[in-house]
Amino acid sequence: MPAFALALDTQTIAIAVALLIAAALLVALLARAGVGRRAPRPPSELPLPKPAERPQPPPPVAPAALPPERLAREQRAGEQLQSAQDALAAAEARLSRDAAARAEVDRRRREVSDAQRKLEYERRKIAEAEEKARREAETAARAKAEAEARAAEEARLAAERAAQEEARRKLAEAEAGRTLAEGLAKTRGGFMARINAFVGAAKELDDATLAELEEILFSADVGVRTATRLLDSVRERLKRRELSDVSRVKAALREEVERILSLGVAPGESGHGGLPDLPPGTPPPQVVMVVGVNGTGKTTTIGKLAARLEQAGKSVILGAGDTFRAAAGEQLDVWADRAGVPIVRGKDGSDPGAVLFDAVTRAKAEGIQVVLCDTAGRLHTKANLMEELKRLKRTLEKAHPGSPHEILLVVDATTGQNAIAQARQFHEALGVTGFVLAKLDGTAKGGVIIGICDELKIPVRYVGVGEKVADLKPFDPHEFVEALFS
Ligand code: GDP
């Protein structure tokens, strides 16, 4: 009996030792399975994967979405492990009662081990998929952030450019420009200086003195006819004994010049300065056809005028009717930009009539008040410029009956007598309604303005005394004579 008891004890101890070894093996296996995953728990306690527990990628990267079939495979592998573990536990329980269960225990252990590897594999795949999705999300987020930064930078640069342009425009508008007196400095230094010297000499007003005055007036670029007329008026006054001495001659000339420049408009009345308003009842837009030979300052005048009118609260559109010269359209574009007004341009060499027709049509459609039409000053073909301008005039009449309301001739003061000849030619062909004397600041030949007014009886709308917007001065005969004779 004691021998049986001893044998029993030995068998029990062997079973217990085997159980202990099996348990240790199981723990070791599970510990290995736990490496690389978050929960280092024994296999039986492995939680079934829950998507919510997956690590969230840091903001602003959006959480990576995993393919549902992969999650399902991981879940299935977890369940298979669980059932393999359950089967192993049952087999081991049987082994404690029945040594024949050993083979089954071994099989179940292999099954647990296989299920373990499968679960590890599925989890590794999930980790890889997560990592891949995270990287893709990061790349997408980075690309999005870069695109946003680029767009923000572009918007900032555009705003900066717009602000600079606006500042430039404001500056151009605010730039004081030259005064009329400054613009007339050269003319004053020319023929007016000679008149002053003549008057200062205080000689007798005899034939010799009058001959000297005649010579001065002939040299003053007012034209022979006007010089003669001025001299005649001095002689007349002499006869009427209105001029007692030479010093009165200057005042007499001044009065006569103002009378010529006023074209019969009483001092203080308007009639010269600036663009006249449309007569009441005339349907807008006001169409202004600007003519003149190349280089006189036509484009610059249109640009300055557009800026002036805009500043005065009028809406303006430019028609780039000089399609013969590529630079003319580009230059007008710059002015349109600077003045902040729209422009209608055609292709180089295209029909200028079509461009101006479009500009007038657009002004009508958009309720724009003034259309400033640039025109060619010289043609590349043999065609006659005046005939071309007449054709354009007819086109404008078609586009807007009653227009052009103003045919503004730009003449270059520096060309002196030529300016008068040009004015005559344009007037005969087109019926000029007003003129602009540009570049008065650059010449001593400012007297030409007196000749044009006297010969053609055309009102002066503006004088140009420089290249800034403020250098285009609405013409006022009294102010002009003051500045010239001061
Ligand atoms: P266009 O060919 O008739 O269109 O002439 P532009 O408008 O291109 O002018 C010819 C040149 O004269 C340009 O360099 C202008 O800047 C300049 N200009 C125009 N008006 C004046 C002005 O009143 N004073 C001065 N000093 N220059 C002017």
Q: How many degrees, rounded to 5, is the angle at CA 120 between CA 118 and CA 121?
A: 65
DSSP class of 59: T
d(CA 87, CA 109): 9
Give the model's pLDDT for residue 47: 42
> In this structure, are residues 475 and 462 in contact, taking their beta carbons and an 8 Å threshold?
yes
Ligand 1, pocket-test mutation among 178, 291, 294, 300, most atoms within 8 A of CB? 300
Please report, for the chain, how many H helices and E strands are present, in that order: 16, 8
Q: List beta partners, residue 290.
A: 408
pTM for the full predicted model? 0.65
Nearest CA to ligand 1 atom 12: 297
Nearest CA to ligand 1 atom 17: 297
**In sequence order, what are the residues at sequence separation of 6 or more whose Cβ sits closer than 8 angstroms to the Cβ of residue 361?**
399
Give the model's pLDDT for residue 319: 97
Give the model's pLDDT for residue 49: 45
Nearest CA to ligand 1 atom 11: 297
For 110, other C-beta atoms within 10 Å of its C-beta total 12
DSSP class of 192: I
Nearest CA to ligand 1 atom 14: 297
Cβ(473) – ligand 1 distance below 6 Å: no
Q: How far apart are the first and last CA of the chain?
A: 153
d(CA 303, CA 336): 7
d(CA 150, CA 262): 61
DSSP class of 284: S
d(CA 78, CA 204): 130
Question: Which DSSP string do the residues of 93-154 spell out, in sequence order?
Answer: HHHHH-GGGHHHHHHHHHHHHHHHHHHHHHHHHHHHHHHHHHHHHHHHHHHHHHHHHHHHHH
Half-sphere exposure of 344 (CA within 13 A, CB side): 24
Q: How far is the CA of 369 from the centre of ligand 1 (A)?
A: 26
> Of all atoms in ligand 1, which is nearest to the CA of residue 465?
23
Q: Say if residue 363 is exposed, middle or buried (CB neighbours under 10 Å; 0-12, 13-18, 19+).
A: buried
> Of all atoms in ligand 1, which is nearest to the CA of residue 328?
4
- Paired sense of beta strands 460-464 and 472-474, if any: antiparallel
Give the model's pLDDT for residue 12: 72
Give the model's pLDDT for residue 366: 96
d(CA 231, CA 252): 10
Q: Which tokens belong to 355?
A: 């461009």
Q: What is the pLDDT along the chain (486 residues), one digit of tens a residue?
A: 444 444 556 677 667 766 777 776 676 565 555 444 444 443 343 444 444 445 455 555 555 677 888 889 999 999 999 999 999 999 999 998 998 889 999 999 999 999 999 999 999 999 998 898 889 999 999 999 999 999 999 999 999 988 887 776 666 665 667 888 888 888 888 888 888 888 777 667 778 888 888 888 888 888 888 999 998 988 888 877 776 677 778 888 889 999 999 987 765 555 567 898 898 999 999 999 999 999 899 999 999 999 999 988 999 999 999 988 878 889 999 999 988 999 999 888 889 999 999 999 999 999 999 999 999 888 655 568 899 999 999 999 999 999 999 999 999 999 988 888 889 999 999 999 999 999 999 888 888 999 999 999 999 999 999 988 889 999 988 888 888 887
- Paired sense of beta strands 434-438 and 460-464, if any: parallel
Q: How far is the CA of 267 from the centre of ligand 1 (A)?
A: 30
d(CA 249, CA 115): 125
Give the model's pLDDT for residue 269: 55
3-state secondary structure 417-474: HHHHHHHHHHHHHHCCCEEEEECHHHCCCCCHHHHHHHHHCCCEEEEECCCCHHHEEE
Residue type, 262: S
> Of all atoms in ligand 1, which is nearest to the CA of residue 295?
2
Q: How many degrees, rounded to 5, is the angle at CA 96 between CA 90 and CA 100?
A: 85
Q: How far is the CA of 375 from the centre of ligand 1 (A)?
A: 15
Give the model's pLDDT for residue 42: 38
Q: List beta partners, residue 343.
A: 318
Q: Which tokens belong to 405?
A: 């309301």
Structure confidence by residue, pLDDT tens digits, 67-87: 888 889 999 999 999 999 999
Give the model's pLDDT for residue 39: 41
> In this structure, are residues 288 and 408 in contact, taking their beta carbons and an 8 Å threshold?
yes
